[in-house]
Amino acid sequence: MTQIAIFVSGSGTNCENIIRFFSGHPEIGVSLVVSNRADAYALVRAERLSVPAVVVPKNDFSNEEKILALLRKYKVDFIVLAGFLLKIPPYLIEAYPRRMLNLHPALLPKYGGKGMYGHHVHEAVWAAREPETGITIHWVTAEYDRGPILAQFRTQLLPSDTPEKIAARIHELEQQHFPQVIEAAISSSCPCCA
């Protein structure tokens, strides 16, 4: 069975959705939730769904031995970034090549890069009066939001939209599509499933 670790920094709605999607899955499970913040509500969601959750402070992510030992302990084959706001260190990308996905709340390459997350993205999309926006699911590489794109899903924007309305539309796309793209990516790329 392929085991996923979900990396989070915030409330964890996507984390919960992914855990629920793979609950009872015959080939894929979520074995660990990792947060860089002790106050992330995603930790509560994971606990309620009986998934082990650990806090790894920002400074500890530079400790290669510690992080890789943690991932080995939970038999992690694949990593999903679901609202994780730290830059992934090179050693982790090397350890999980083409086995680490990120979700970005815009149509990359637009509105990507350092500092472009959450409401910052939605406000930028709204200020530019874009006719559409969406989500991008991509492989994680050493550069922010530059990894090869697996999937994009779009939504049209209306003149009456606000950043809050855009955020709600993006959230719907995330909930609808992210788990299925993870499943497809694992089925086609993970050595454990080959």
Looking at the annotation, which residues are catalytic?
Answer: 104
Among candidate residues 179, 177, 183, the one with its CA nearest the CA of residue 155: 177
Contact 102, 130 (CB under 8 A): no
- β-partners of residue 155 are 133
Look-up of token digits 């860089």: 36
137 bridge partner residues: 103, 151
- Measured torsion, CA atoms of residues 42, 45, 51, 56, in degrees rounded to the nearest 10: 20
- State the Cα–Cα distance between residues 4 and 33, nearest whole angstrom: 9
